[in-house]
A and B are shown apart, each in its own frame.
Chain A
Amino acid sequence: ALNSELFRELENGRIARLMMKLGTVNERQEFEGDRAWSENGERYMLKLFRDYVFHQVDSNGNPVMDIGHMIRCLNKLDAGVDERICLTSRDEQTSFVVSYKELKKQLVNAFNELIKAAKPG
């Protein structure tokens, strides 16, 4: 019982850390105008992924609040699986077919870039 309680909390921590990474990286003002984050840049997919996970809607455009979907997506990102998903821009003009593995690589790169820029101490 204690072990399963511990596992539960371990899991929460993992998801919280992943969300913190996404939070530190997405929509930073200093990335504005950076080509990598623009519509034809490689980081653009991370923005679209955030929408894919948290801004899911049903066929009528009403928000879908499925924590199962959110955790499933986050877990697949955490492990960087080969599964491919279709990410669509808000104007529905851009559609990418991208794997979680590629998304994970982008997240890790973007986060490492922030760490490098952070002043030690």
Chain B
Amino acid sequence: MDGDWDEVARVPFPPPGVHALPTQVTTMTFDTTQELLWAGNDYGRVTSFLSSELQQHTSFKAHQATDGPVRQILTNSKGVVVLGSKDVHMANRRGPPIWHLRHDDMKDLRCMSFTSKGTAEIIAAGLQDSMFVIDLIKGEVVKQVRTEHQYSIMKRGRYICAATRNGSVDLLDPVTFAVVKTWNAHSALINDMDAQHDFIVTCGYSLRQGQNYMLDPFLNVFDIRKMASMPPIPFPAGAAYVRMHPRMLTTSIVVSQSGQMHVVDLMNPNTSNVRQANVLSYLSMFEIAPSGEAMALTDAECLIHLWGSPSKLHFVDLPAPVEFATPEEAIHQLDWTPESPLNSVGLPYYRQVLASSWPELPSDVGAPPVKFDTQFLASLKPTDFALYGRNMRGLRRNQLEDTRSVHKSANSGLKAPKFLSEKARDLAKSESSSAGDK
């Protein structure tokens, strides 16, 4: 972390309604291709924040508020994948949905990870006995995998590192999803975990005096090459959150709940760079951008803090442009009069079939109006604006009525003379309808 790193922006996560209070961030992630930070809340809402000002960009609901918090967000070239407890939603970065997956066996999903197939496939797991392998291009469940362990955090390193509820980490093969190795990282539970190249780092709790959960005053490190744990790295303030630096392969950043940040080299733990984040409450989450040039922290007061060097801050190294609404071109004002033709506004250039093209459908334009039953009319109460009352006509609301034939039978007492062709048609009709009755 450079000397000039500081807090550059601080924004609240928007409230669920116009007069409501801001909401806690339940998960956040930096976009891997655009200058966006994605965050989710307890109401199933996902919002993207733009570059160093964290200006609100797009926002959408990944699932209903009743389905609980947004658990995790991943991004790939096509869009963002949002994990809820009971569903997986994929949306375009601009907001419109791409697909939505729900499955009866999705009961309490908590985490997901990309698999061996780059960013085209994920595995989703949780506090339940099955995991789902999902093809992100088709938006389909490819496979359901039974699991003995229930997972709360997943990170994709060389293996899929999956944290269980009892403080251990399973290393899953990214092709077969079989457990290759189990590492007992903490005695009670794991609070945060990251994995990169050769290392897995964890922060966790142990039970003190058999009743209080206390954050362990150290960071645990596992060496994947040697398949063995390394000596823990001391962090007296209580290690709550940890991320590996995406560029400096042996460097990790550890944060305490009160905002103390240490930049530690795992190979040389004695030299560390210390910073203090300005938080009034306690921190609830910590994330680092793919460029390593920005960090985001969230706190219990629903604020997102962005840290970085004010001059160099960026999220991704070669960002794809963020897609905004097309700027309105200057339009010449038209003076609308009752005579102005509608075609004074031109149709843009087009090559495909227009949306207004109407298919060949039969349409009845000359039918007589519906005649209301006198009994029905009598049941209505008159007011100065309309007659009203219950629908007693034995018809659905807005049901089509064949007024042509109704008209005929109603006038059966006084038949108008018919042409021969009409008589022949009527005969044919009655024959076909009686044939249909049999």
Contact = CB atoms under 8 A, between A and B. Distances in A.
Chain A partners chain B? yes
A98 B94 contact: yes
Interface residues of B, number: 46
A15 B94 CA distance: 28
B345 A93 contact: no
Contacts, number: 126
A45 B96 contact: yes
A92 B18 contact: yes
B417 interface: no
Given A14-B356, A35-B100, A40-B89, A95 B95 contact: yes
Contacts of A18: 354-356
Given A68-B334, A84-B326, A86-B325, A94 B347 contact: no
A83 interface: yes
B97 interface: yes
Identify whether the interface residues of B are mostly helix, strand, loop, or mixed. Answer: loop
A40 B63 contact: yes
A41 B100 contact: yes
B69 interface: no
| Interface range for A | 35 or more
A47 interface: no
B94 A7 contact: no
B96 A14 contact: no
Given A18-B356, A75-B346, A75-B348, A40 B17 contact: no
Contact of A80 (B89, B324, B350, B358): B350
Interface in B41-99: 44-45, 57-64, 89, 94-97
Interface string B340-361: 0111011111101011111101
B437 interface: no
Contacts of A83: 326
A72 interface: yes
Contact of B97 (A8, A42, A68, A104): A42
B323 interface: yes
A83 to B, nearest CB: 4
B16 interface: yes
A115 B359 contact: yes
B326 A15 contact: no
A94 B60 contact: yes
B331 interface: yes
A77 B345 CA distance: 13
Given A67-B336, A108-B355, A40 B345 contact: no
Contacts of A115: 359, 361
B343 A11 contact: yes
A108 B359 CA distance: 11
Identify whether the interface residues of A are mostly helix, strand, loop, or mixed. Answer: helix
Given A14-B356, A18-B356, A8 B342 contact: yes
B14 interface: yes
Contact of A93 (B59, B64, B325, B326): B59
Given A40-B97, A85-B326, A8 B341 contact: yes
A21 B356 contact: yes
Interface string B188-215: 0000000000000000000000000000
Contacts of B358: 17, 20-21
Interface of B: 14, 16-18, 44-45, 57-64, 89, 94-97, 100, 323-326, 331, 333-334, 336, 341-343, 345-350, 352, 354-359, 361-362
28 contacts: A8-B343, A15-B342, A18-B355, A18-B356, A21-B358, A40-B62, A40-B63, A40-B89, A40-B100, A71-B345, A72-B331, A75-B345, A78-B356, A79-B349, A79-B354, A79-B355, A83-B326, A85-B326, A91-B18, A93-B14, A93-B45, A94-B61, A95-B95, A96-B95, A97-B325, A102-B96, A108-B355, A115-B361
Given A18-B354, A40-B60, A40-B61, 13 more contacts: A8-B343, A11-B341, A14-B356, A40-B62, A42-B96, A68-B334, A68-B336, A75-B346, A77-B355, A78-B347, A78-B356, A79-B347, A97-B94
